Structure 1
Amino acid sequence: RSPILRELALQLPTLLPAGAELARAGESGLAFWIEAADSNAAQAQATDLLRTLTAQPQEINGIRYRVEMAAGLMWTDDCLSPEIYFDNANAASARARESGQRVVMYSSEINDSGVLALAQWAHELTAILARNQLSLNCQPVVAAADAARTPLYYEVLLHPTAHDERAIATGDLIDVAARLQRITEIDRWVVKTVLHWMREHADRLASIGGLAINLSGQSITNPLFLKFLLAELARGDLPGNKLIFEISEADAVEGHAQTQLFMRQLQRHGCRFTLDDFGTGSSSYTSLKSMKLDYLKIDRTLVREISTSMIDEALVRSILETGSFLGIKTVAGFIEDADFLAKLVEMGVDCVQGYFIGEPQPLDSLA
């Protein structure tokens, strides 16, 4: 677990009132239950607590850290389920982080539409995970010059099934899970499902180049998530070289040191890595110098304009040349027609992906 989170968990019992209950909340938070006379008293307690915790730096292994915190507060007279309390407080906490406020409260009298919308999403996310209302598709990635389009590997794509008879867009689900700091729950579900499929279909897996899984920055920088992955690989019944983890350039740059550690630990088991959405960040080429990568996936906003923008074409050519020099295979996605494919082949891209190459299909269809 996070050393800072552990230190805070040790300090909180001495700061909370008698009778308070403290618990771990998800992958990166703490939750506590207190009694208060009314909502104003509850908010005052939460505000004072955060002020006390942030007043002094936290010291870990002799290094002092200044910690910033935000809290979500759920106050009610009603008797509700623990899940509802947690989801509402978590939504208020996300609202606090985004708005720069120290404490945001969710109550039955609330009129903050942002908190209400997040709380509704939090309830839906909890229900989706509890009911296993997720499925996985896969899309082939092929060598650009291969007319037969034999898959080199498949990218795994998350697909929420209908929730309460209402379709939910994957992007919406991922965005709100990230805002609620619960995206690691989804990443863990995806990884568990993929590893289960690999174990159940060892014969078929032998003929597949690999399965690529997208991971969020929250998961990459989470020690518990890394521990979970290493424990799965330590069982020794999975070929690590069949796993390809895709990390966005933005996440890799933001948590550079932790990303490096994450990659090194998994590469020891043979796992491969793709740097996704490459080419639009301020540190694009700098990040390549210190990362041992297998694939470089060019950002879609650059790829889709190469036929109409000389600047984008020049940028893509530069990325392709850099990848070739460093020995990293380049990947271009969202290939929609033959002309687009021919242009990329002429430019020298190594691998391609998109509906023109192969549409997503259920993961189980590979069996």
Structure 2
Amino acid sequence: MHAASFHWGMGMGDAQRRLQLALDAAHMAIWDSRMPNGKIVDGTVSWSAHGATLLGLKAQQLTQPFAAFLDCVVPDDRRRVVAVMQDAAERRGDYELEYRVRWPDGTQRWLAAKARVFCDAGGAPERTLGLIWDVSARVLDKLRAAERKELAEVTLSSIGDGVITTDALGKTVYLNRAAEQLTGWTNALAQGLDIGVTLRLVDEASGAALEHPAVKCLHQRQAIGVSAHSQLVTRDGRRIAVEDTAAPIWSSDGVVLGVVVVFRDVSHERKLSQQLSWQATHDSLTGLINRREFETQVAAALRASKLDGHVHALLYMDLDQFKVVNDTCGHTAGDVLLQLLAKMLQEAMRDSDILARLGGDELGVLLPHCPPDQARLIAEQIRQSINDFHFVWDASSFELGVSIGLVEINQDSKSMTGLLIAADQACYLAKEQGRNRILVYQESDLMLARRQGEMLWVTRLNEAFELQHFRLYAMPIVHLSARAESHDEILIRILNTQGELILPGAFIPAAERYDLMAAIDRWVIKAVCHHIKSVRDSLAAPDAFAESHRRTPALFSVNLSGVSLGDPCLQDYVTEQFVEYEVAPEQICFEITETALIANLPRAQVFMQHMKQLGCRFSLDDFGSGFSSFGYLKALPVDYLKIDGIFVRGIAGNAVNRAMVKAINEVGHVMGLQTVAEYVEDEATLGVVRALGVDYAQGYAVGNLRPLTPGRD
């Protein structure tokens, strides 16, 4: 069509007007090109005014050489434009074409053309005539959709969770890479298979098939939440712990098109959860159930007695020579002894009997459906088997005994706590009456014996004050870097008239009940100050001068009871000892337990602030046994955190304990505190503690208990 033919004028026919109106409404223009000798590139292109605007040009009729038009086309598309048009000319046929043009302002647009080739009278191709219009919006939408699809596929392919989609019948449509790896099915193999085949889920406890979340989702037409006990059975039969959710895929008009199932491997998390659950109910050293779980079992037995009238029995056992093994050979030997005894006792008991470790060397046994006479026979068998047990460690051999308290569980029993207290009291009386024996709980006998035992200890403690029977021992606290310093925790013992050392566990309860703890604490403070002065006075003058000017003088950690923390006169007493014995406050560190702090917090804060100003240091003992400790750290001038030994012992083979120590150590360091690991009894534990970055260690792996003073005069 020649350019002149675009001039419609006033004489335009109705048909032409209607055509123009239709083209304008469709945003289309006439696409007209001439090709002399059948060569597209040698011809011209004619545009209507609207057609010129499609090239970004002024809205006016225009005829231009084909080469000029081709310059408007994006270079990458030029060869294709020429090839398609030339092919149509040679075929004398139609063609369709999409290509990009770049406007003079740099804008890029997409154009679409449809045209037909017309020939002259001799049949030679003469021109193409058709329509052209802007399709940029459609093409961009298509490109964006493709990008979104590609992004979604890349995202699904790269995420760690498995994703499977189904159709409305639950047939598999798509698996991402993680789903392929977890299930063992490839995307190609899984196509069209039922979701129950590609994602086979069973209950981890029973192995029974579960109601599939995808099927449930299709039936209920709503999202299905996480299943916490599912196992995936892979294509090759392996089982993997998974968590899975399912959600419907909706169309725009509210039709469920299928389901998307998201699942992930939670083997590690579930294993850790099981370990934590086991830890919560078991003793990590012996594998026996712990005190908390034992109390639960006793409570259940008591409920059963009240419901059905059955009689059960409870044994409370205390090993008689356990402390001798610990003191002679160290805690590692004691741990091995407990493990061997636990294994031996479990093998000897009935399947229904329940054996537990209640504390250090204390064991409990629950004998279900066991009348008193039979319970006494079983208790005697246990006593005899422990009595016959010989424990050998290095060159030392030990014979053991056990004191057993026996209490009946029946309809008249008052409470679980009362039963345990009764059994404990019976065990205590068995020890008082000569050890290695069984005593059946009788309330009248036990109450009298307990009062007599406590009063006896009051007498012994008063004698210890009068006759100077108290002895101090030092347990080193060793820095785990190259820093050389002297730091000891001071521990108290009683040396009785038979030459036996009595540990605090035997006399501290009586001292607490009869208000003697404050006196014991003051004795220890005074004795430590006296020791510091004695060491200094024993040195030659130059050595004494050097000692007094050491950058890091010897540090002594002294334990304070809750009673002393609540004593408003304690700080004056401590100050008087510092003055009398010329002791630098920097040489004293007070160790305080969380329990004592909580019970006496206001006065403890006053005492700690005053002593801190003088130069004393403070250590929070058994940190981690009660997590409320974290809340007090900000309000108290603490220098050291002593990580509870329950987390440190066995840390080399216990990932949970290792994580606990790591967390406590990091919290301490963030708060600017030094950390101390207690009960570091062997090289393996020491290696782990050192690797975790703990500052100090205390235990037989770094130093032995040694006498501090031979006595006081």
TM-score by length of 1: 0.65
- Partner residue of 1:127 out of 460, 463, 481: 463
Cα separation, 1, equivalents of 2:594 and 2:447: 38
Task: Report whether the alignment pairs 1:216 with 2:550.
Answer: no
Aligned AA for 1:153?
H
- Partner residue of 2:648 out of 299, 303, 322: 303
- Partner residue of 1:276 out of 610, 621, 628: 621
Task: Report whether the alignment pairs 1:193 with 2:527.
Answer: yes
- Whether the 8 Å contact between 1:144 and 1:341 is mirrored in structure 2 is no
Aligned AA for 2:679?
F
Cα separation, 2, equivalents of 1:200 and 1:144: 29
2:588 maps to what in 1? 243
Cα separation, 2, equivalents of 1:338 and 1:206: 35
Compute the displacement of 1:172 (Å): 1.2
Compute the displacement of 1:139 (Å): 1.9
Compute the displacement of 1:230 (Å): 2.5
DSSP 3-state at the match of 1:223? coil
**Equivalences for residues 136-285 of structure 1 within 5 A:** 136-146=472-482, 150-202=484-536, 203=544, 208-234=553-579, 237-285=582-630
2:55 maps to what in 1? none
Compute the displacement of 1:297 (Å): 0.3
Compute the displacement of 1:245 (Å): 0.7
Cα separation, 2, equivalents of 1:260 and 1:155: 22
Compute the displacement of 1:250 (Å): 1.4
- Whether the 8 Å contact between 1:242 and 1:271 is mirrored in structure 2 is yes
Relative contact order, higher structure (CA 8 A, sep 6+): 1
**Equivalences for residues 324-339 of structure 1 within 5 A:** 324-339=669-684
Cα separation, 2, equivalents of 1:183 and 1:222: 11
Cα separation, 2, equivalents of 1:236 and 1:198: 8
1:63 maps to what in 2? none
Aligned alpha-carbon RMSD (Å): 2.5
More deviation in 159-168 or 121-130? Answer: 159-168
Aligned AA for 1:193?
A
Aligned AA for 1:131?
L
- Whether the 8 Å contact between 1:139 and 1:359 is mirrored in structure 2 is yes
2:668 maps to what in 1? 323
- Whether the 8 Å contact between 1:140 and 1:151 is mirrored in structure 2 is no
Aligned AA for 1:129?
F
DSSP 3-state at the match of 1:212? strand
DSSP 3-state at the match of 1:218? helix
Go from structure 1 to structure 2 and tell me whether the alpha carbon gap of 1:143 and 1:322 turns closer, same or farther (over 3 Å shift). same
Go from structure 1 to structure 2 and tell me whether the alpha carbon gap of 1:110 and 1:344 turns closer, same or farther (over 3 Å shift). closer
Deviations 1:249-294 (A, max 9, x none): 1111221111111101111210011000100114111011111111
DSSP 3-state at the match of 1:126? helix
Cα separation, 1, equivalents of 2:686 and 2:447: 51
Aligned AA for 1:320?
N
2:72 maps to what in 1? none
- Whether the 8 Å contact between 1:143 and 1:152 is mirrored in structure 2 is no
2:370 maps to what in 1? none
- Whether the 8 Å contact between 1:217 and 1:255 is mirrored in structure 2 is yes
2:180 maps to what in 1? none
Cα separation, 2, equivalents of 1:174 and 1:361: 21
- Whether the 8 Å contact between 1:128 and 1:163 is mirrored in structure 2 is no
- Whether the 8 Å contact between 1:317 and 1:347 is mirrored in structure 2 is yes
Cα separation, 2, equivalents of 1:120 and 1:249: 30
Cα separation, 2, equivalents of 1:168 and 1:141: 23
Aligned AA for 2:462?
T
Cα separation, 2, equivalents of 1:110 and 1:217: 28
Aligned AA for 1:306?
I
Task: Report whether the alignment pairs 1:359 with 2:704.
Answer: yes
Q: Which structure dedicates a bigger proportion of its chain to strand? A: 2
Go from structure 1 to structure 2 and tell me whether the alpha carbon gap of 1:236 and 1:172 turns closer, same or farther (over 3 Å shift). closer
Cα separation, 2, equivalents of 1:318 and 1:201: 39
DSSP 3-state at the match of 1:331? strand
Cα separation, 2, equivalents of 1:312 and 1:129: 41
Aligned AA for 1:125?
L
Compute the displacement of 1:224 (Å): 2.5
Compute the displacement of 1:205 (Å): 6.6
Deviations 1:323-352 (A, max 9, x none): 110110000121111111010011110001
Cα separation, 2, equivalents of 1:313 and 1:142: 20
Deviations 1:166-205 (A, max 9, x none): 5422221222211222111111111111111122223357
More deviation in 149-158 or 334-343? Answer: 149-158
- Whether the 8 Å contact between 1:198 and 1:205 is mirrored in structure 2 is no
Aligned AA for 1:169?
L
DSSP 3-state at the match of 2:592? strand
DSSP 3-state at the match of 1:358? coil
Cα separation, 2, equivalents of 1:211 and 1:326: 23
More deviation in 233-242 or 284-293? Answer: 233-242
Compute the displacement of 1:164 (Å): 4.9
DSSP 3-state at the match of 1:363? strand
Deviations 1:296-339 (A, max 9, x none): 10111111142333322222111100111011000012111111
TM-score by length of 2: 0.34
Identity of aligned residues (%): 30
1:41 maps to what in 2? none
Aligned AA for 2:616?
C
- Partner residue of 1:290 out of 635, 647, 670: 635
Cα separation, 2, equivalents of 1:342 and 1:210: 25
Structure 2 stretches of 5 or more lacking a match?
A: 1-420, 423-444, 537-543
**Equivalences for residues 38-53 of structure 1 within 5 A:** none
1:118 maps to what in 2? 454
Compute the displacement of 1:142 (Å): 1.3
Go from structure 1 to structure 2 and tell me whether the alpha carbon gap of 1:305 and 1:211 turns closer, same or farther (over 3 Å shift). same
DSSP 3-state at the match of 1:317? helix
**Higher radius of gyration, 1 or 2:** 2
